[in-house]
């Protein structure tokens, strides 16, 4: 039968290990929160980029329309000028200029059509970025709120459990308590593990027959290897 002193220590350990888990969770919360904020930042920058892209395309559309208009005005001027020219070589020269102006108008109009497509694409991109911004914003906001309330709840639970742990510690044999707390503070494994067929549940190493026998007799022993506390559940 497992001795009451060991049982008392195990009850304390169960509480303390829950506290340790809660603290680990608590410590991970700021990182989770920062990751959420970073996720939102990516979407926010995406929206900013889409807005700038739209402005850039709009600017290009205006410039191209102005270029078309200028080319058309030039063509008009050349036509007027050509009507008053009498010399054949001058007339041929102005005809060439008229052809060049016509080509310039045509090129500019082609570019305007291309830019309309670009404008449509920019609008679609912006709409998508806005949807993403809103959706992620909502999700992130909700998740951040959830994390913040979780943080509060965990802090409260830790506080309650620490009070309970302090109460439970009063039941533990004083000689066990200090080494136990040192092992617990190491932050790894359970300070009080089990020994089965001589094997330590904490480090998996085999203990001497003497240690194994002492545990078999219902005593709390220290592992020969890791020196954590061990008890034999079948004692
Ligand atoms: Zn061990």
CA distance 35 to 112: 43
CA distance 19 to 13: 10
CA 192 to centroid of ligand 1, rounded, Å: 10
CA 223 to centroid of ligand 1, rounded, Å: 5
CA 174 to centroid of ligand 1, rounded, Å: 22
| Residue that has been written with the tokens 């030039």 in this structure | 74
- Contact present, 99 and 71 (Cβ < 8 Å): no
The tens place of each residue's pLDDT in the chain, 235 residues long, gives: 689 999 999 999 999 999 999 999 999 999 999 999 999 999 999 999 999 999 999 999 999 999 999 999 999 999 999 999 889 999 999 999 999 999 999 999 999 999 999 999 999 999 999 999 999 999 999 999 999 999 999 999 999 999 999 999 999 999 999 999 999 998 888 999 999 999 999 999 999 999 999 999 999 999 999 999 999 999 8
CA 168 to centroid of ligand 1, rounded, Å: 25
* Domains of the chain by residue range: 17-171, 173-235
CA distance 29 to 226: 32
| Residue that has been written with the tokens 């998996």 in this structure | 204
CA 26 to centroid of ligand 1, rounded, Å: 29
Q: What residues does the ion ligand 1 have nearby, CB within 5 Å?
A: 200, 202-203, 223, 225-226
CA 19 to centroid of ligand 1, rounded, Å: 23
CA 205 to centroid of ligand 1, rounded, Å: 6
- The hierarchical CATH code for the domain 17-171 is 1.10.287.1490
């Amino acid at each position: 039968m497992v001795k009451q002193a060991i049982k008392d220590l195990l009850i304390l350990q169960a509480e303390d290990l829950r506290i340790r888990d809660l603290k680990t969770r608590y410590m991970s919360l700021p990182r989770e929160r920062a990751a959420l904020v970073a996720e939102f930042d990516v979407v926010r920058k995406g929206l900013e980029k889409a807005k700038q892209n739209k402005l850039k395309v709009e600017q290009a559309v205006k410039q191209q329309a102005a270029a078309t208009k200028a080319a058309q005005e030039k063509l008009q001027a050349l036509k007027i000028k050509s009507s008053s020219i009498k010399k054949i070589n001058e007339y041929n020269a102005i005809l060439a200029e008229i052809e060049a102006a016509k080509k310039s108008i045509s090129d500019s109009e082609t570019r305007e059509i291309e830019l309309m497509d670009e404008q449509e694409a920019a609008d679609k991109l912006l709409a998508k970025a806005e949807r993403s911004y809103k959706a992620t914003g909502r999700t992130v906001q909700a998740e951040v709120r959830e994390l913040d309330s979780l943080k509060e709840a965990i802090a409260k639970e830790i506080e309650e459990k620490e009070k309970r742990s302090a109460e439970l510690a009063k039941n533990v044999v004083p000689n066990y308590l200090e080494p136990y707390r040192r092992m617990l503070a190491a932050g790894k494994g359970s300070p009080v593990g089990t020994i089965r067929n001589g094997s330590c549940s904490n480090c998996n190493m085999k203990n001497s027959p003497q240690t194994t026998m002492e545990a078999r007799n219902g005593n709390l022993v220290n592992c020969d290897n890791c020196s954590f506390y061990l008890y034999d559940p079948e004692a």
